[in-house]
Structure 1
Amino acid sequence: MKNIHKIFTLLLVLTVSIPVTAQQTPAPAQSEAISITGVTAHIGNGSVIENTTIVFENGKITAMGANAPTKGRVINAQGKHVYPGFITVNNTLGLGEVDAVKASMDVNEIGTITPNVRSLIAYNAESKLVESMRPNGVLLGQIVPRGGRITGTSSVVQFDAWNWEDAAVKVDDAIHMNWPNSFSRGRWWLGESRAFQPNKDYSEDIQKARDFFNGAKAYNSGQTKEKNLAFESVKGLFDGSKKLYVNADSEKEIIDAVIFAKELGIQHTVLVGGYQAYKITEFLKQNNVAVIVGRTQSTPSFEDDDYDLPYKSPKLLHDAGLLVSIDPSGSMERMNTRNLPFYAGQVVGQGMNKEDALQLITSNASKILGIDADYGTLEVGKSATLFISEGDALDVRGNILTHAFIDGRELSLQSHHTNLYERYSNKLETDK
């Protein structure tokens, strides 16, 4: 018994002596009015207001303008810039922490058709990766499950919360689908050719998805009483309360996917990826399809593509009159989401107006997600979800935040990265 007590005591000492590093405590509700003065306001709708004042109370912007009277606490931001909080779409933030540690990953579910899988209840609000978004101005995001043909149901969250319930901004906003590939490569490990070959199962894969959605329509019209959670989860696609996000890249796949959704009576379709969407912009406009393009800092998929196609793709689609945002998914997508403003800044280098590029990750993203009544632009009556930057927030040299707010709550801009920066900066000073 004495040995047991000794072991217990030793474990207790070890436990309390090990430093525990968790996410900062979420900010409390706004308790006093805050006025930001002398700032250049980038509204998020394409316009800029110089030397203005922004006042917000109880989480809402209450006044804006050069002559707006200050109230409460005053932040002098002369020479600085204020932006609406950046919004990331089609992301797995909070669903995975360390790729090599299986227990920390909750991105994929078993099964091919799993629309009733809800990303929100798996979202980890205390993720270190989520915390690292805020110092670059990324304050909201759409959290999406991956895997299978119909991957699940996404939700929109804000990035300063105790848990998923507190984080939720828009619950179960969309269903996500991976469209079948019309071409595939051979399996090199079996000696098959790596050249592109037509996918012989393409039509069959589409038919399986069509059968599911037709079954769901019948179920939700009351033709059967047997409970089916998968069918129930897609009901919103047919009454317009949910959108269908379809991942497709080639010209043929995009056209097939849009026609597929239209024939089924799905009211709102969003194209994700859309690598060749620039070839069929008129078709997409006619069908009112918004496009979430892949990250701009990437290389072309085919050797006969323009070398700068990924850089300029958002501009090509924007110039054609489409509603466009940027998708950070891909290699190390959760970590790389902090580069979202620089993906938008990349398009500026391709000739896109800077304020138009800003819309890709603010107002356009909010419109696609259906949260534009509260987020995405700096306007009286909207949420005070914004940040102050020393310079141009789309440029890595100017994206230096001094203050950030979500619904008027002032955030900590500390993270594991900033702690390491301060630690080793101090070391360098000491070593001189």
Structure 2
Amino acid sequence: MKKIIYSLLFFFLVGNIAAQQTPADKQSTDYAIEGATAHLGNGKVIENSLIMFSEGKIVFVGNANVKIARRGTVINATGKHVYPGFIAANATLGLVEIDAVKASDDEDEIGANNPHIRSLIAYNAESKVVESMRPNGVLMAQIVPRGGTISGTSSIVQLDAWNWEDAAIKVDDAIHMDWPTSFKTGRWWLGEDPALKVDEKYTEKIDNIKLYFSNAKNYLAGEKIKKHLPYEATKGLFNGSQKLFIHVSGQREITDAITIAKELGIENIVVVHGEEADKISDLLLKNNIPVILDRPHRNPNQEDDAYDYTYTIAKVLTDKGILVSLGMEGQMERMNTRNLPFYAGTFAAHGLDKEVALQLLTLNTAKILGIDDFVGTLEVGKDATLFISEGDALDMRTNILTDAFIQGRKISLETHQTKLWKRYANKYKTN
């Protein structure tokens, strides 16, 4: 009996070891990528480029014709393309592994107001879903909690790490809040009319939000006889060190959210979702508020919206001068995050300039998340978080990665999915 138990323990241990990712070691060899078309992530492109990096940082970006000594290992990338690592905003990667298994679901907590809940400590760096992002160039992500009115605090991670401590590149960057809607639908399962109707409790819900933040502000300004963790967690909103990401859609709702946040003394605001944000662009511009849009592959929400509203909204807002990024919240969001570059490609196919569409995943996102001083573009002094693709990275037909680096570390592009692909390609003798 003991032999059986020991055998089971052995196979369980071996199985778990095989399932774990092995992050790349710290960069010890310099690299020079030569001959690729470099998309810098800020709208600029360098044909026949030379990019060199050492000790995790980019040390040269320019034309390959420049007479300069190549450093370390030279990668001939002629005919290929090099990009900054893509950044997924408003994602829940690593918080849920299998939707149907409750024990693997850590995306939300009980309660309505949880600004002190930190998504970072629940982040699973060994998630098989997380590793499947890298072959498409998604190398960083903002990990966001869900649920309640004030969902909690997000952090930003790189996607090749042993644990959440190694993964973190910016800790507790923002607090996330779901703004109520002024309309509601009836609960058909209770026999209510499912049609859209005015929510009589909308004003009451807003008053509760105002009261909560007012109480938090008063607590922070007064004598703290007894420590209140949720109120303590809001400090960064009032001193400007943290941003408030307001998940909100609708012209009235966005206007109310911005107005009330300003009244409460919260200046650093980001609008997430932003349906109808184009109708109040002047308000957004006046207050320098960026917008993180939802994925475009969905139907418009309103009956009178143009059929292609979700495809063209990025161009409309960008043309108005609003800083725009692309978020991942929605159905099967963790699995679909790997398609981030192709969502940007859809915006490009509907009027947005290709390099501007690229910025939705690079510089724009880095600016909104407050990490543009070290990632988001291919520039000297920034992290060597980048990848080489055989073709256009925003096109699923040509975004085939040959090499990828995070902080100069050459990472593996092998995942559970690529292993299965190779296995069954061999079975059916396909390429």
- CA shift, 1:327, in A, is 1.1
**What's 2:188 paired with?**
188
Q: C-alpha distance in 2, partners of 1:161/1:12? A: 26
Residue 179 of structure 1 aligns with an amino acid whose one-letter code is W
Q: Give the % identical residues.
A: 58
- CA shift, 1:429, in A, is 2.0
**What's 2:45 paired with?**
48
* 1:130 match: secondary structure: helix
Whether 1:64 aligns to 2:32 is no
**What's 1:8 paired with?**
5
Equivalence map 1:98-137=2 (5 Å): 98-137=98-137
**What's 1:208 paired with?**
208
Q: C-alpha distance in 1, partners of 2:222/2:253? A: 32
- CA shift, 1:204, in A, is 1.0
Deviations 1:213-267 (A, max 9, x none): 1111111123432100001101000111000000111110000000011000102
Deviations 1:256-283 (A, max 9, x none): 0000110001020000000111111111
* 2:87 match: secondary structure: strand
Deviates more, 1:197-206 or 1:142-151: 197-206
Residue 35 of structure 2 aligns with an amino acid whose one-letter code is G
Instruction: Flag the 1:380–1:17 CA change in 2: closer, same or farther, 3 A.
Output: closer
- CA shift, 1:16, in A, is 5.8
Instruction: Flag the 1:238–1:77 CA change in 2: closer, same or farther, 3 A.
Output: same
Q: C-alpha distance in 1, partners of 2:16/2:327? A: 36
* 2:361 match: secondary structure: coil
Deviates more, 1:182-191 or 1:226-235: 182-191
Q: C-alpha distance in 2, partners of 1:154/1:16? A: 32
Q: C-alpha distance in 1, partners of 2:156/2:378? A: 19
Instruction: Flag the 1:17–1:288 CA change in 2: closer, same or farther, 3 A.
Output: closer
**What's 2:415 paired with?**
415
**What's 2:296 paired with?**
296
- CA shift, 1:19, in A, is 7.5
CA contact (8 A) 1:24 1:412 kept: no
Runs of 4+ off more than 4 Å: 16-20
Instruction: Flag the 1:12–1:269 CA change in 2: closer, same or farther, 3 A.
Output: closer
Deviations 1:94-144 (A, max 9, x none): 000000000010011000001100000000000001100000000001000
Instruction: Flag the 1:208–1:410 CA change in 2: closer, same or farther, 3 A.
Output: same
Deviations 1:168-226 (A, max 9, x none): 00000000000011100111122221221111111111111111111111111234321
Deviations 1:61-93 (A, max 9, x none): 001112143111100000110000000011110
Residue 59 of structure 2 aligns with an amino acid whose one-letter code is T
Unaligned runs of 5+ in 2: none
CA contact (8 A) 1:96 1:104 kept: yes
**What's 1:174 paired with?**
174
Whether 1:427 aligns to 2:427 is yes
**What's 1:152 paired with?**
152
* 1:412 match: secondary structure: coil
**What's 2:27 paired with?**
30
| Matched positions, count | 428
Q: C-alpha distance in 1, partners of 2:307/2:245? A: 28
Q: C-alpha distance in 2, partners of 1:368/1:172? A: 14
Q: C-alpha distance in 2, partners of 1:221/1:57? A: 47
Deviations 1:28-54 (A, max 9, x none): 000011000011100000010000100
Instruction: Flag the 1:63–1:18 CA change in 2: closer, same or farther, 3 A.
Output: closer
Q: C-alpha distance in 1, partners of 2:188/2:13? A: 52
- CA shift, 1:288, in A, is 1.0
Deviates more, 1:197-206 or 1:84-93: 197-206
**What's 1:83 paired with?**
83
Q: C-alpha distance in 2, partners of 1:404/1:374? A: 17
**TM-score normalized by structure 2?**
0.97
Equivalence map 1:216-365=2 (5 Å): 216-365=216-365
**What's 1:164 paired with?**
164
Q: C-alpha distance in 2, partners of 1:23/1:10? A: 20
Q: C-alpha distance in 2, partners of 1:423/1:290? A: 44
Q: C-alpha distance in 2, partners of 1:272/1:160? A: 26
**What's 1:143 paired with?**
143
* 1:352 match: secondary structure: coil
Residue 207 of structure 2 aligns with an amino acid whose one-letter code is Q
- CA shift, 1:401, in A, is 0.3
**C-alpha RMSD of matched pairs (Å):** 1.4
Residue 313 of structure 2 aligns with an amino acid whose one-letter code is S
Instruction: Flag the 1:209–1:389 CA change in 2: closer, same or farther, 3 A.
Output: same
